[in-house]
Each structure stands twice: as structure tokens, then as C-alpha cells.
A and B are shown apart, each in its own frame.
Chain A
């Protein structure tokens, strides 16, 4: 299966740059609306995003979503990878910033 590339790693502040595009968003689950297949999540820079889910069941609190940015605070899930119950969001946020600015050429 051909995967979209580039698929940049983003935080909340970067999402607005990629409307309509595929991104990777690592976030912490805040709350779920299973009936609506939606999750409310907190991004690595503390922003709040609503994710339209494929399935509303999770085994861990940190999740990497691969999806399409529908709006600056809305993501449509294409795939996910659960990152477990412990993840360093502060360092990850630094990676998001570096990979979209000074070292973007290594990633996109």
C-alpha cells in the first residue's frame, strides 16, 4: 500500500498549515464520544483537537493518529498507533517544531 508522504508530524499550532493534507498527530486522549465516533484530545503543545474516529475503542491514553486535517482543530482519522500510557510530549513537541522549521528538509 502506498502511504502518503510527506506526512508531517504536527502539534496544534502547526495543524492550520496543513488543512486538507495528511499529518501525524501524537496526542493524549481527553474524552470520548463513542456514539459520535469522536475523541477530544490534547496535543503536544497543549492544544485541543477533535478527532473523527474510525473506531472509538482505545487501549492506551497516548495515540498517534495518521489523518487528514479538516480544520485547525479537527482531524479525520485514517490510521492510528497506540503509544501506551507513558510518553514524553514535551520532547515530542520539540521534534514537531524542528521538523517543520529549521530541519524541514529532512522530513518533507
Chain B
């Protein structure tokens, strides 16, 4: 579910504002970062040490991280608080550079969600996508997606991505701080087996198969941007000739899982996170 720099480049192009904002809206205790200005669209790969330094008002380091809407990290679950009687799951994650709190609002207690959450145990590596926010005087990541890491090359990949983005920004790369496919390509090539050819069902350098990419391009298309409800799988299928409902649904699930899409008006309508 990853594949060289391109994947994060793709992910880094989404604003995610509406999605994350809606989660923040449900949490009145979360005022967000007070001392940052307008946040940049995009997702930033970080180590926990970078996050902690970004949150430390005295060091004022890594301001570029605070200025990003979303961050992603790969870390081990160090501890979890029982979530059986709460709609919010709290976990402490650790990546060797430090520990950080992650809060995740349980969207719905269906079997699939509970199954996914049962995999998050102490000692398990997880990929967290979320936004930095302040909670009772401490910073945390308000996660909009957490998934268990199953291919451990992702640990290598994530940390190299954090280095790459830091180097790119500190050396005065593109002013937006976002990676492009072109920027990421050398790293993807260096990553060797972590990249792919992008043909057929192979995972390409953007971390997606051809099918998933087609579905994403429908969600990303200009004509659907203004539609607040999002698209159903059937509507996507109508624009992807030759693709079965099952294929579209599977692709949508993967796009959701990796932060490229989210459900909008209800659980059957999907929108792209790219705008």
C-alpha cells in the first residue's frame, strides 16, 4: 500500500481540510494550533522527534510541520487505553525518536471497523494519518486513519520520506513544501523493490494499481469537485467502463484506507481528499 515517493507525493497533494475539520468540529476540546497561521494543504511525513520539536513553543523548530494541515508517521503502539466505553481511542505511539499521543474517533462500530481496531495492539507497527492539535495543554495527533503496517519496508520508506521532505524543504525546494512525482522519483528508484512498474495490477510509484488510479481520477475530476455529497460506487462505475462493481468498491476501500478518499454525505458517497 505504498510505493516509493510517488505515493506520498500523491497523498501530499490533498488538502484534507473538510474531512479533518469535521472531525475537529466534533471535539470542542480541540482548539487546534493557536500559534500558526494558515495551514498548508498537504501531508507531511515526520518522525516523532520532529513533531515534538514542532510542538515545543520554546524551541520553535520545524515550523514547516506546524504549517501543514496533516502529518503521517509510522510507529509502534506503546500503549492503548481501553475504548470499549468510549467513542475515542487513545494510544501512545513510539518510533524510537520519541512517544506521542494519538486520538482516533471511532467512526462506527461495525464489524469491519472493530476488526481493524483489534489489530492495533501494543508492539504493533501502525501508520497514522492525522492533524496536530492541542488537547488539554498537550499536543496530540487527531487521527483520521490508522492502519496496521504489514510490509515492514514501510518503516524504512517512511523514515526516508521524512528525511527527503525535510531536506527538500530546508534546501529551499518548491515553495509549497509539497512533493511532486518528479521530485519523488529518484527516491522511488533508490528504494528498489518498494517501487513498481505501475502496469496492470502492479503497484506503481504512487502506491496505487491501475484500477485504483482510474477510480481516483474519477473522484479527482474537476466536474465532481463542487459536488458536496460525493459519488457512489455505481456513479464511479458509470465513468470507468469495463470495471465491475466489486473492483470499484475494492479500489474505493484502498483509496479510503490510504487517505486518498473519504466518505462524505453518508458511508456510500465518496469524495477525493485532493481538494
Question: Which positions in A face B, CB cutoff 8 Å?
Answer: 1-3, 5-9, 24, 62, 64, 66, 79, 81, 83-84, 87-88, 90-92, 94-95, 98-99, 103, 106-108
Contact = CB atoms under 8 A, between A and B. Distances in A.
Given A87-B152, A91-B194, A106 B97 contact: yes
B141 to A, nearest CB: 17
10 contacts: A6-B98, A8-B96, A24-B96, A79-B123, A88-B193, A91-B156, A94-B190, A95-B160, A107-B47, A107-B96
Given A6-B49, A106-B50, A107-B96, A62 B156 contact: no
A106 B48 CA distance: 9
Contacts, number: 80
CB-based closest 5 A-B pairs: A83-B152, A7-B96, A3-B94, A5-B98, A92-B156
Contacts of B163: 95, 98-99, 103, 106
B194 A62 contact: no
B47 A106 contact: yes
A7 B95 CA distance: 8
Given A83-B152, A92-B156, 14 more contacts: A3-B94, A3-B99, A5-B49, A5-B98, A8-B96, A66-B96, A88-B191, A88-B194, A91-B156, A91-B190, A91-B194, A94-B160, A95-B156, A103-B167
Interface in B23-69: 47-50
A88 B152 CA distance: 9
B78 A3 contact: yes
Contacts of B123: 79, 81
Contacts of A81: 76, 123-125, 152
A91 B152 contact: no
Contact of A91 (B50, B125, B153): B153
B29 to A, nearest CB: 24
Contacts of B98: 5-6
